[in-house]
Amino acid sequence: MNRHVLAVAAIMSTAVAIPVAAHHSAAMFDFRKPVTTTGTVKAIKVLNPHTHMLLSIKDAKGTRDWDFEGHSASNFFRAGYVRDSVKVGDKISITYAPMHDGTDGGYIVAFTTAGGAKVGFSPPGT
């Protein structure tokens, strides 16, 4: 009987630990130095656990596709996002926390849709 209880307890503790280990932090983003730029939407996925926007951005280095990570879908809607307010081909303004290592992309802090609607978020952990 005790072995059976121990086996079940071991399985349950492993099942609980796996989702915790799978979640990552936002430490790779520099929230102290937000950057604002404009780009053309190539893809948007408002999903859980994290939303992603792929934007084509033109800067001094040329035109490249940048991937931006954001809050969950529910946080997007609470922040003012309306389904289909951002579509492929739209030119939007985005404020983001850049990657610490300087690579293209970042964490979405706020954005303004092509129609002028503003959507803004608090940084993770606030």
Mean pLDDT, residues 97-125: 87
Per the domain annotation, does 125 fall within a domain? no
Residue 17 has pLDDT above 80, yes or no: no
Output the six-digit token pair for 65: 């596709």
Per the domain annotation, does 11 fall within a domain? no
Q: Provide the domain limits for residue 105.
A: 29-120
Per the domain annotation, does 3 fall within a domain? no
Q: How many domains does the chain have?
A: 1
Report yes or no: 34 and 109 within 8 Å, Cβ to Cβ: yes
Per the domain annotation, does 107 fall within a domain? yes
Q: What percent of the chain clears pLDDT 70, i.e. is strictly above it?
A: 76
Per the domain annotation, does 105 fall within a domain? yes
Q: What is the CATH number of the domain that holds 76?
A: 2.40.50.1010
Output the six-digit token pair for 100: 């610490």
Sign of the C-alpha dihedral, residues 75, 37, 57, 100?
negative
Per the domain annotation, does 12 fall within a domain? no
Per the domain annotation, does 70 fall within a domain? yes
pLDDT tens by residue, 44-100: 999 888 899 999 999 999 999 999 999 889 988 888 888 889 999 999 999 999 999
Per the domain annotation, does 87 fall within a domain? yes
Q: What is the pTM of this model?
A: 0.75
Mean pLDDT, residues 99-125: 87
Closest listed residue to residue 68, CA positions, set 11, 26, 15: 26
